[in-house]
A and B are shown apart, each in its own frame.
Chain A
């Protein structure tokens, strides 16, 4: 057992750092060509990096002050792009991956629907095969980046005659195609809309944009969601990102508010929990170095990390008193660095309620942990085994 993180003179680190020194302002294309956009992917896309090298690469991006491709094109680099490695064709990889890694084409996920919510598999959007095309119809919601994305990853139903999990397929669609309409959703933060709703009205998609096989959509979706949840184990204020308890302690010490005995103990408790969440991230990494899948662990991590993040920004707010109710500027000092989208306590706090909703509500995550880790009885879904086309009748009966 060794908890030491890769050292400053680790030869792998030295090599990456030298590249950043030789290329102080690299273009996103250069970064992708060097294999650094998705270092954990195999060559030629990445470096085939184990999690430790990936950790080094992430640190060196921060040191060089260069924004990471995965923060610019998260859906492609973190969640969905890897599905093309496992399930895509050579032609799909050649067509989609180079512009995705170079961030020339931004991706978005088109999974959730207004009628579905947590019941992600109850997708009503349909994809009907017509010759060399599929024709997609339906409505999607909670889509980050859909307003500027070029590529949409759509889950749609190709076969309504089989149970809901079996009849789904995934497609890579052109967001500029006729029939795609994107509207922003103004969330409670009042800031620039993070989310959109997307209408798909007879959108024609070439058959070679089907990812994997027809009916494989649910399997691929679950893989992508688990990858996303594993990334949300980190100790930041929202979904692992943004300031952490370390920054909160920094602010409380610098402002003298740490002297308040109530804040002091709460802050200490959150600091401890945050450090332990870091250990969980490293442990997940270490497992993957040892060739074990991260799998279900990501669910446990997100289950703890989401409320942790909410409590962080809640405490940060309370220590600011009434001054914290004014939009934007924080009274509590925050160390100057790039926190990404969740760049201050104010936005992190007002965005906070979404942390236990997005990428699986807290309740669904707890069900998943209880059922799949602890082996408790599964929740009975009366619609799980019937043909999807019959589920509307079942819903009507349930409502009556």
Chain B
């Protein structure tokens, strides 16, 4: 038993922090009317590739770094803390889908390209209405000779417009299966959604006879396997985001003077920030435990990641709301970054289903264990 981060983990976190503090510039987003198009979404990518981040989770056998999930959350946490606008989420999601559902040959081809920095991916699961209960909903796959074509549409695809290839869950006579589609295929139309969280690119995709390749080794466990990892990513962003907004709110409460003293001297403010501190500590513990469970192949892993995602996203919502309230009316303006965190928190708690749905997953695991 040792809950402390290793020196290697801390070094990785600190170097990611140093890089992102220098590179991330959200100032363009703080001008009224800004959208994700103003975020410089692709500008950092080459540097991110040079740091090897897309290769972190790719197994060494496919040319990746094969790092563990504790390493991963060191980097993801810093991405979340700084709201770094860059298409890493989509590439991680797509890579895990290929790892879960691809044949050895497909993994070799696609994952080595991801690791080499020449391929960006996105993963399309949700239906156009945001339904995640059937992973294949919205898109039908039809076999044409030796290949497939896709027809239909998907919603809420993170990083689709930045991607070179799309991994799409579609349904055919065999059920829900994973397919790979070229983003430039004439049968693919990608449109950015007017997504409230302008630090992240979220799109809808229409498929009209798009040529697709089946990932040959997928089964019904593939999507839950990928989802477990994506829960960790969002939870790690959220836990780090809580620390960021708490630090902002505490700094402001020390500086802002009202009635002759810093507002942080009032218990009404103090107690709320203490509550956020407590929730932030639990969220952080949840994320580290979930990352360890994934790395160690612990049998409780699905419970651990669902706990982390449900708790961290709820706590992030509360923290970012409080961060607006502590700042007062200025915290409600577009020119402050408070709303960017608030919107990221709201998005993180819906993007893979609601916290209540993750809690339902936890309960079902407990019911199975009790039976």
Contact = CB atoms under 8 A, between A and B. Distances in A.
A131 interface: no
Given A1-B9, A366-B270, A375-B254, A283 B3 contact: yes
Given A2-B2, A366-B270, A371-B270, A276 B307 contact: yes
B367 A258 contact: yes
A268 B359 contact: yes
A377 interface: yes
B278 A375 contact: no
B288 to A, nearest CB: 7
B233 interface: no
A104 B293 CA distance: 45
Q: How large is the interface on A (under 10, 10 to 19, 20 to 34, 35 or more residues)?
A: 35 or more
Interface string A118-158: 00000000000000000000000000000000000000000
Interface in B263-290: 264-265, 267, 269-271, 273-275, 277-279, 281-282, 285-286, 288-289
B21 interface: no
A258 B70 CA distance: 34
Interface in A336-373: 363, 365-367, 369-371, 373
A374 interface: yes
**Chain B interface secondary structure, helix, strand, loop or mixed?**
helix
B278 A303 contact: yes
A5 B296 CA distance: 13
Interface string A366-399: 1101110111111110000000000000000000
Given A2-B1, A286-B4, A268 B363 contact: yes
Contacts of B250: 374-376
Interface in A236-289: 249-250, 253-254, 258, 264-265, 267-269, 271-273, 275-277, 279-280, 282-283, 285-287, 289
Contacts of A207: none
Contact of B273 (A3, A277, A286, A376): A376
Contacts of A258: 363, 367
B271 A366 contact: yes
B3 A1 contact: yes
A355 B85 CA distance: 45
A3 B274 contact: no
Contact of A304 (B282, B362, B367): B282
Nearest 7 Cβ contacts at the A-B interface: A268-B359, A370-B270, A286-B3, A377-B265, A376-B264, A366-B274, A369-B274
30 contacts: A1-B5, A1-B70, A1-B292, A3-B1, A3-B289, A3-B293, A4-B296, A5-B1, A267-B363, A271-B366, A272-B286, A272-B359, A276-B307, A277-B282, A279-B3, A279-B282, A282-B1, A290-B2, A303-B275, A304-B278, A304-B282, A366-B267, A366-B271, A366-B275, A369-B274, A370-B277, A375-B250, A376-B250, A377-B264, A380-B265
